[in-house]
Amino acid sequence: MNIFYTEVDANLRQELNARGRSGFYDRSEAALNFMLGKIANAQVTAYTGNNSATAIVGTLGGIQVQTGRYLPSGPNGYLSDRQVNQQEIDFYTERDINLDPKNPDIILGNAYVREKSILDTSRRTGPYLTDVSINIGDHSMGLLNKATVKFIIPNPLVDLDHVEQIWFRPGRYASIDIEHPESAIVSRRNTDGLLTPKVLPNKDKIKELYPNWDVEEFEKKISRMNAVSFEGLITSFDFQYTNDGTIEASISLTGTSNVYTDVSMFIKTEETTDKTKQTPASPDDVKAAARPEFYQILYNQIEEVKKDFESKVPGLEKQATYMLPFTIKGANNPANTDRFILIGEPYPAYVNQSTTTGPQTNYTRYITMGSLIHFINFYVTTKLTGSVASPEIIHTDQLCYSNYFESLVSSTPDDILLLPKQPYANTNVTPVTEFPSLLSVQPPDCNTYGDLVYFGGINNDLIAQNISKTTLESCGWKEWSGVYDKNSTYGRYYPSRILINIEVIQDLITNLSAKQTKDFSVSTFITLIATIINQATAGAINLKLVSHPDDPTKLLLMDANYILEKTTSTANVIPYSIPMFSNHPNGSIVQSFTLSAKLPENAKNLSYVMNSGDQVSNSKVAPYINFMYSAQNKDQINTLIQRYRDDHEKVVSDLATAKIQFGLSPNVPELQQSLYKALAEYIKKPFADFRTSQLMSAPIFPFEATITIDGINGFRYGDVVQFEALPMRYRMNTVFSILNVSHNVSNTGQWLTELKCIMRPSIE
């Protein structure tokens, strides 16, 4: 699943083309209905609980502004005097007891709700919306899902108390719905007004992994092109009186997926029965003492899995090295391929060392990213109540991928380890036919550093005892699927299968718990883990917490560097040409268009930054720049191509040398730094074909475009588009990737959609 480089929905393209032709090329009834009848309505709904399935406590806008007190006439019309009942808190007095001495509910000094009736002669309507804005952005670029609702309270005496109780409540769950009439969809006859069905890969597997995610409801909810919705928490409000006695108010909302990772990593543990333990003196001391429990519980869980397995397989040595599926009692533990723990000796004793100062054996524990996120979900995020329904971070090899690099290794394998499907080295263990990968020495892989192979002796203790696979599997063992595969044209890594040394987790928890409570959050912890992985892979893998582009209530941990999985069954992503200007065959849908760029002196015609915003050396994008601006000179292009090939061969050779040197003495900081530098240079030019290299590390250029069109649902951040008004070299070599989608409805019923786009190289 790629959410950073995607094709605009086919039905959406058809509808936009039909809108562009309306009036100029097409004057059918459907086209006229679109042009004359697209008046939008908006409704904001507040709920009692932490999702839209709970009871409704209030609404603004919607159908209610067409009935009752919003009409001039009728018994409840705003031109009629009417009785209004209001409730207020009062306290029982002796007088109340004397009036009803036998009523047991009347207790002196207790509070009760008293109803008061007032006559409303104001000739004013109820509260109404004046402006609704929704912003959905690419989180990997630092953008969040936000919404703002502005409304008027014409009659504060009658409505302010009610509005305050419902809408001026930070933390209140609310939803926003914007909708055009059905007639606003010109292509309804062909598309039925719906986007193409969203097909999640391995839907049944997703349901098994995340049972709280209603996939069918999710697919149904996002399908209508004439309606868009937003769900989130009210985070702030403000209001002010105007000269005519009305109140101008606004509330701000934050998308639900941007909220729940702010929960503290503090885990509330059961009260201890050990009477010898001292109770901390203050609440702050209690929290400080309990925070390391996150690591302790994780460690205990790993040990429990290990001991359970060893108890079922007699004869195992105490220091056996093996990999086991990670499970949590009481949690949903489906059969999966990315929840594992790795236990044992990273440096096998049988590895031939060329020096006497080689690595020493040690016993350690690793856990996959998929297991760690599963643990966080079970013990932290899913325990959050009162603000978000079923908060869960989705990080699985069913949805989350990274680019494949043939020579990629971790520069800090003692902390972050990449382990292939067959990690075995040459051993003295007699292989059995059930383990064919041991029949020969494996070629260098992502866990190989010269003669040093990390966990090359995995499962040797099991195999040496001639225990069959069937027996092992009945005891909880499972074969490792590897951190990557090459089933597609370019292959892919699975970031959820990256292994993390639990001592790294312990250090992070200790450091975070020593700081302020606000720093001890899920988002901070995951960001730090992602940073360590990014550094270990020299920037090849860049994990970011992002909202699902279709379902903003779900949070994904994705690799922002991942561009595209290109398989024989997957069509190429074709950028959508936005209908604009007089020469476009589909007319124009654009109401406004801006294009801007900031060009630094040192790059002259082109500058760039990566998705993360970090500065990158010129050498990374230079081949692409030269190719783009020399497109009319084939001899110069061929010279650049050959120069790039030579550079590629050199960085591959340098990396191989750095691996060998590191393998001799992996604990020497200088050798580790040399490996990192060689890996970073390799990531810049990983393939002999520079076009493939640029596909994997496509930079973003500082050209930004913004267009405004009539409101419609279906664009996602990551969709790629083109603008025919640009010079040909841009259209041939670059695309514009949607960075932010904004929807705005004014008090006149005009719904506008704004797309903010940024230029990047085309991957084709």
Query: Residue 428: which pLDDT band, with cuts at 50, 70 and 90?
Result: low
| pLDDT bracket for residue 612 (50, 70, 90) | very low
* Residue 662 identity: F
| Lowest pLDDT segment from 184-188, 438-442, 713-717 | 438-442
pLDDT score of 529:
95
Q: Within a 13 Å sphere around the CA of 50, how many CA atoms are in the beta-carbon half? A: 15
At 443-502, the pLDDT tens digits run: 788 999 988 889 887 776 676 667 777 888 888 888 899 999 887 667 889 999 999 999
Half-sphere exposure of 472 (CA within 13 A, CB side): 21
Sign of CA dihedral 209, 211, 212, 218: positive
Residue 619 has pLDDT above 60, yes or no: no
Tokens 């595969």 found at: 485
Instruction: Return the top range by mean pLDDT from 209-213, 686-690, 740-744, 756-760.
Output: 740-744
Which has the closest alpha carbon to 500: 326, 291, 333, 307? 326
Average pLDDT, the chain: 79
Question: Which residue(s) pair with 14 in the sheet?
Answer: none
Give the pLDDT band of residue 616 (cuts 50, 70, 90): very low
Q: How confident is the model at residue 181 (pLDDT cuts 50, 70, 90)?
A: very high
Comparison of pLDDT for 201 and 189, the residue scoring more: 189
Measuring CA to CA, which residue among 168, 179, 174 is closest to residue 146? Answer: 174
Cβ 560 vs Cβ 612: under 8 Å = yes
> Can you give the three-state secondary structure of 429-477, one letter per residue?
CCCCCCCHHHCCCCCCCCCEECCEECCCCCCHHHHHCCCCHHHHHHCCC
Phi, psi of 690 (to 5 degrees): -65, -25
| C-alpha–C-alpha distance, residues 683 and 79, integer Å | 72
Query: Under a CB-based contact definition with an 8 Å cutoff, are residues 123 and 734 in contact?
Result: no
pLDDT digits (tens, 9 = 90+) for 392-417: 788 999 888 998 999 999 999 999 99
**Could you state, in order of their start, the residue ranges of all structural domains in the chain?**
39-256, 283-559, 576-761
Check: CB of residue 281 under 8 Å from CB of residue 192: no
Is 617 a residue whose pLDDT tops 70? no
Confidence at residue 149, expressed as pLDDT on a 0 to 100 scale: 97
Tell me how crowded residue 573 is: count the other CB atoms within 10 A of its CB.
20
Q: What is the pLDDT of residue 280?
A: 38
- Rounded Cα distance between 212 and 331, Å, is 13
Whether the pLDDT of residue 349 is over 80: the answer is no
What is the per-residue pLDDT for 711? 95
pLDDT given for residue 143 in this prediction = 61
pLDDT tens-digit readout, 214-247: 666 666 667 899 999 898 889 999 999 999 999 9
| Amino acid at position 681, single letter | E
Read off the pLDDT of residues 513-545 as tens digits, 9 standing for 90 and up. Answer: 776 555 677 888 898 999 999 999 999 999 988
* 416 bridge partner residues: 500
Could you tell me the end-to-end alpha-carbon distance of the chain, in angstroms, rounded to an integer? 18
pTM: 0.77
Task: Classify the phi-psi angles of 476: left when phi > 0, otherwise alpha if psi is within -120 to 50, otherwise beta.
Answer: left
Q: Would you give the DSSP letter of residue 69? A: G
Residue 550's pLDDT is 67
Query: What is d(CA 442, CA 447) in angstroms, rounded to the nearest whole number?
Result: 11
Summarize pLDDT for 152-173 with one digit per residue, the tens. Answer: 999 998 899 899 999 999 889 8
Sign of the alpha-carbon torsion through 323, 325, 328, 329: negative
- 73 pLDDT more than 60: yes
Largest distance between two CA atoms of the chain: 105
* Whether the Cβ atoms of residue 760 and residue 628 lie closer than 8 Å to each other: no
Percent of the chain with pLDDT over 90: 35
Whether 602 shows a pLDDT value over 50: the answer reads no
738: CB partners within 8 A, 6+ apart: 715, 716, 717, 718, 719, 720, 721, 755, 756, 757
Q: Which residue has the higher pLDDT, 600 or 31?
A: 31
